[in-house]
Structure 1
Amino acid sequence: MNRTEMKENYKKNIGLILIVFILLSCTGGSKNFQKEHNKKIEIYYFKGLVDAAVPCDKEFSSSEVEDLGQRLIDTAVFLEIAERIGYLNKNIDAKEDNCNFRMQCNLYNENGSKQRLCISQFNCMVVNGEKVKDDKKLIYLLRKLSGYYNYFDSDVVKSFSEVEQFGVPDSYKNSNENIEQNNSRLYAKVVLLQR
């Protein structure tokens, strides 16, 4: 093979690699976690320490929830949350005990589908009725962005395992004392939207 033929083969190979790269990048992410496919994340949670057992499939009425409104979050963070929910691994070591929730997160997609994630006080996690292995980063992001930590005293917040790992959020503000004065509803609702 002479030098001209080698150059020609080299150009063809580079061209093929570029074409493959372009085709792969055009397909986007897997499991439909691209921006245009995720509509919103609706989060419900107990305000503070509540001694109650509530199943993950609970549907909320507006009369039992304090609506805290919508929060715009960075698209990259929104997509990270959606992706983490989609990739949670089934917990094969899960016990048969009930995983009563303290937080329920509903990820709505534009195609009308919904994924439901529930998180218990001790980070037991259930997605669409199946126990999954906990993801402390996901738990931290959801609790931080929804204002969940604000309904606990700072000493309690510091004892959460995910806070021990990632730190008390800068946005933390103790609202625990004002719960009964502001609203008698046990649950809060927040909707996360991407900017």
Structure 2
Amino acid sequence: MLQLKLPSTSSRQHKPTLQAKHLRPEWDPITLLSKIDHVEINHTRVRGGVVFYSVEVYLKHRVSRIPTNVKSASGPNRTPDYVVKRRFSDFDLLRRHVGQHARREIMGACPYCDRFRMFMLRCFKQPKVFVKLCVGVEARKKLLAGFLNRVVELAVADERGAARLPRVCQCPGVRAIPILVDQFMRRRYVV
């Protein structure tokens, strides 16, 4: 008599199909930039003939689902989380450095850099010398705020999964651009 031994279900190991979400460290520039809700430039100050723009940074705050009697800090009367003073030349320098890093790879090699490259080519609302000479301070404030919001949005957007690639496999722009934008948006700015 022949007996067939069927494998028991208890001996099979169940392999989960879900993968753990990749978490970036708290100090990572993309983590810090993803906390920015939006940027506004409402005030300027002139010192020594130089116009300084007050970059007001508003961070995203976690919404608690626990009901409270305290009103939320969102709305038109919300104060910025921090303010950074920048000159027009600082904005122009950021634009040039981001453009240099985005152009290091050939077109199509890195979708992350391609998005920055296309933004630099197609968007005319950027801090350039022509804008500085031909546009008033009020128009420059709107232009610079729109520029910064778009640059932060592009720096955080990561369609190709660059976070999952080892740092040595990433193109130089993926590593450098978020650092440049993060440094600009904080009190420190090193170029």
TM-score (norm 1): 0.27
- The structure number with the bigger radius of gyration is 2
Structure of greater relative contact order (alpha carbons < 8 Å, 6+ residues apart) = 1
Q: Which has the higher strand share?
A: 1
